[in-house]
Amino acid sequence: MPKPIFVLNGPNLNLLGVREPAIYGAETLSDVRRRTEARAKSLGLDVDFRQSNSEGQLVDWIQEAREKACGIILNAGAYTHTSVAILDALTAAEKPVIELHLSNVFRREGFRHHSYVSPAAQGVICGFGGKGYELAVEAMADIVAGRQAAKG
Ligand code: DQA
């Protein structure tokens, strides 16, 4: 069995389903987790799906991914727009990274248009709600299998 994809979720994503459903949708994080795991399984991959409200915990998990993951799918929530520590951890991890957001951050406030995750990411998926997690797993499956065409 290949190493799992780490699917890491940042602050406030534990509130999915009750938090601003007009923006983030009605699905809970458990719903999103189930569809992510199902898509991965259908592609012969395993996911390790986690959420934390703490920046340091996310940094620890990204460091762990260096040894234990085949790639990282990261929805860093608001830390996307603030955290140099997460960028440094992603760079040090030397793993393929996909940046993910439920909402289309580019249709929203200007402060959400800048990402500290993007410089370390192979690609960005945003605006497709929970479906984005499935799309990210599909993209990561291609990357780990060496089928990824664009290298940015
Ligand atoms: C988010 C977008 C961020 O700007 C926001 O702070 C979040 C969620 C998203 O999934 O759309 O917490 O990452």
pLDDT in tens, 100-110: 999 999 999 99
Kindly report, residue by residue over 35-76, the tens digit of the pLDDT.
Answer: 999 999 999 999 999 999 999 999 999 999 999 999 999 999
Reported as a pLDDT band with limits 50, 70 and 90, residue 148 is: confident
Helices 55-68 and 84-93 pack at an angle, to 10 degrees, of: 10
Q: Would residue 151 count as lying in a domain?
A: no
Question: Is 86 a domain residue?
Answer: yes
Length of the chain measured in residues: 152
Mean per-residue pLDDT for 120-148?
A: 96
Angstrom CA distances, 86 to 23, 31, 146, stand at: 24, 26, 26
Average pLDDT over residues 99-122: 98
For residues 142 and 136, give the distance between their C-alpha atoms in angstroms, rounded to a whole number.
Answer: 10
* 78 pocket-lining for ligand 1 (C-beta < 6 Å): yes
70, 71, 118, 121, 122 from 152: Cα distances, Å: 20, 17, 11, 10, 7
Q: How far is the CA of 81 from the centre of ligand 1 (A)?
A: 9
Q: Which two tokens stand for residue 138?
A: 């599909």
Q: How many domains does the chain have?
A: 1
Active site residue 81: no
**Tokens 């699917």 map to which residue?**
7
Output the domain CATH number for residue 118. 3.40.50.9100
Q: Identify the band that residue 96 occupies on the pLDDT scale cut at 50, 70 and 90.
A: very high
Active site residue 101: yes
Atom 12 of ligand 1 has which residue's CA nearest to it? 77
Provide the residue range defining the domain that includes 130: 5-144
pLDDT at position 9 over 80? yes
CA of 101 to the centre of ligand 1 (A): 6
DSSP lists the bridge partners of residue 6 as 48, 72
Place of tokens 């923006």: 23
57 lines ligand 1 (CB under 6 A): no
- Residue 121: what pLDDT? 98
In a domain, 125, yes or no: yes
Q: How confident is the model at residue 150 (pLDDT cuts 50, 70, 90)?
A: low
Does any domain span residue 120? yes
Considering only residues 148 and 139, tell me which one the structure prediction assigns the higher pLDDT: 139
Domain membership flag for residue 149: no
**pLDDT (0 to 100) of residue 2:** 83
User: Phi and psi at residue 32, in whole multiples of 5°?
Assistant: -65, -40
Ligand 1, atom 8, residue with closest C-alpha: 77
Distance CA 11, CA 143 (A): 27
Query: Does residue 83 have its Cβ closer than 6 Å to ligand 1?
Result: no
Instruction: Report whether pLDDT(152) > 60.
Output: no
144 by DSSP, 3-state: which?
helix
